[in-house]
């Protein structure tokens, strides 16, 4: 394989990716193009531009894009239509961001004539898989550089020493050992490593950044009404909002009431288990509300089939297979199920919990006439239940007869 000449780097402006930038220039002899994504991580991104310039990147080769609306509209909302939870708990906040970043890396590579992309994921984690499977799916001939799998800078001390030797600016607060690693976007924050590596020890309170401690949350509940159209949320408390603005509003509400905390030991795709602290306030509120909306509008058979498919769908996203035919096939099934998922759901937020307390829809399958304990005016003949039960009991009776013989 020929040596790449120009590479697009997923660049945060932080120390690690700045070291990677310099390493690509000095050790691999590459011209570097940087891509910095605004995914709603809450950090000022323009300093990344200035830092890239000081490190020799041409101004026309520095890309900073606000992808918040695209992220929520085209990735988060389709995933949420499945009510996707990895291993029954994780709302996939990091997993779903990686294919979007890879998509832009490949687009920028095409636009700038780059023949490679690079990322800062380590050789121990899932993100290397997610970035690279996505990139290959979109551009089969792209070259990928993963410095953490190549260099010998295996400790924080060696990284700092290498940075100093190559004039990489080191912020004062980066010279010490970080207590844990954080990934953040509009959907969640993920904290891993260092003080969190022993799962037998509770996470320190300072790890949580996006949610109030439920015990310290307001003593009065907050009532929130969320409007849906064909499976996607479109309004909060009657106000129509864009996808990103809506998720940000639910983050604010959920975070205030301590909703969406998760302490999880998960099975990584690469084989090991890891412990993560996740905060997904708006996503948790949205999941609860969506299930409330679906309970009213999706037929039992369709709902149960959808729930059977969900773990497979969630695993595909977690493992990095967003741009695959099997994910798209499942997405088509899921999207078909959302045809009548329209209406409003009222959710109560209180002390770390989000609970559905009311729901309504113009496409409701709920028939009060059929379920009432009062006179149903002939809507349902209770005598029919006897034959229904006998037919369904036939195989059980035959089994029991054989056992008795």
Are 210 and 279 a contacting pair, CB within 8 Å? yes
- Residue 88's DSSP bridge partners are none
Closest by alpha carbon to 108, among 99, 100, 117? Answer: 117
- Rounded to the nearest 5°, which phi and psi values hold at 126? -80, -25
- Helices of type H across 194-274: 243-256
Q: Who contacts 25 (Cβ-Cβ below 8 Å, separation ≥6)?
A: 31, 32, 55, 56
Instruction: Enter the DSSP assignment of 239.
Output: E
- Rounded to the nearest 5°, which phi and psi values hold at 354? -120, 120
Q: Which residues are catalytic?
A: 16, 98, 127, 181
Q: Who contacts 323 (Cβ-Cβ below 8 Å, separation ≥6)?
A: 99, 133, 134, 137, 138
Mean pLDDT for back-to-back runs of 10 residues, the chain (405 residues):
88 93 95 97 91 95 98 98 98 98 98 97 95 98 96 86 90 69 96 95 96 98 98 98 98 98 97 97 98 98 97 98 98 98 98 98 91 82 94 97 95
Q: How many helices (H) and strands (E) does the chain have?
A: 13, 14
Are 107 and 250 a contacting pair, CB within 8 Å? no
| The pLDDT of residue 342 | 98
| The pLDDT of residue 170 | 82
């Amino acid at each position: 394989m020929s040596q790449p000449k120009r590479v697009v780097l997923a660049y945060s402006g932080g120390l690690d990716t700045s070291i990677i930038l310099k390493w690509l220039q000095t050790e691999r002899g590459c011209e570097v193009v940087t891509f910095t994504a605004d995914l709603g991580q809450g950090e000022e991104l323009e300093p990344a531009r200035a830092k890239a310039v000081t490190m020799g990147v041409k101004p026309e080769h520095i890309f900073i894009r606000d992808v918040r609306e695209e992220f929520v509209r085209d990735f988060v909302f389709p995933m949420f239509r499945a009510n996707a939870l990895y291993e029954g708990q994780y709302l996939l906040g990091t997993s779903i961001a990686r294919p979007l970043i890879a998509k832009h890396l490949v687009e920028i590579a095409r636009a700038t004539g780059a023949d490679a992309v690079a990322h800062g994921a380590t050789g121990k984690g899932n993100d290397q898989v997610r970035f690279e499977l996505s990139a290959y799916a979109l551009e089969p001939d792209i070259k990928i550089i993963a410095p953490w799998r190549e260099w010998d800078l295996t400790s924080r001390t060696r990284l700092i020493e290498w940075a100093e030797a190559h004039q990489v600016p080191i912020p004062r607060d980066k010279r010490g050992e970080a207590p844990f690693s954080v990934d953040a976007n509009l959907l969640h924050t993920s904290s891993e490593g260092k003080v969190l590596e022993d799962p037998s020890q509770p996470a320190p309170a300072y790890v949580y950044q996006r949610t109030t401690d439920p015990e310290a949350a307001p003593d009065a509940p907050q009532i929130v009404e969320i409007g849906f159209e064909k499976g996607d949320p479109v309004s909060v408390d009657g106000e129509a909002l864009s996808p990103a603005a809506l998720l940000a509003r639910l983050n604010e509400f959920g975070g205030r009431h301590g909703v969406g905390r998760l302490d999880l030991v998960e099975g990584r795709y690469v084989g090991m288990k890891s412990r993560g602290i996740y905060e997904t306030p708006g996503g948790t509120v949205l999941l609860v509300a969506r299930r409330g909306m679906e309970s009213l509008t999706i037929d039992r058979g369709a709902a149960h089939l959808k729930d059977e498919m969900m773990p497979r769908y969630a695993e595909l996203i977690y493992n990095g297979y967003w741009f695959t035919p099997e994910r798209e096939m499942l997405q088509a099934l899921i999207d078909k199920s959302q045809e009548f998922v329209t209406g409003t759901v009222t959710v109560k937020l209180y002390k770390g919990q989000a609970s559905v307390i009311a729901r309504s829809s113009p496409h409701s399958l709920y028939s009060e006439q059929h379920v009432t304990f009062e006179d149903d005016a002939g809507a349902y003949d209770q005598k029919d239940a006897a034959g229904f039960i006998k037919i369904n009991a036939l195989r059980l009776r035959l089994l029991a007869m054989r056992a008795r013989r």
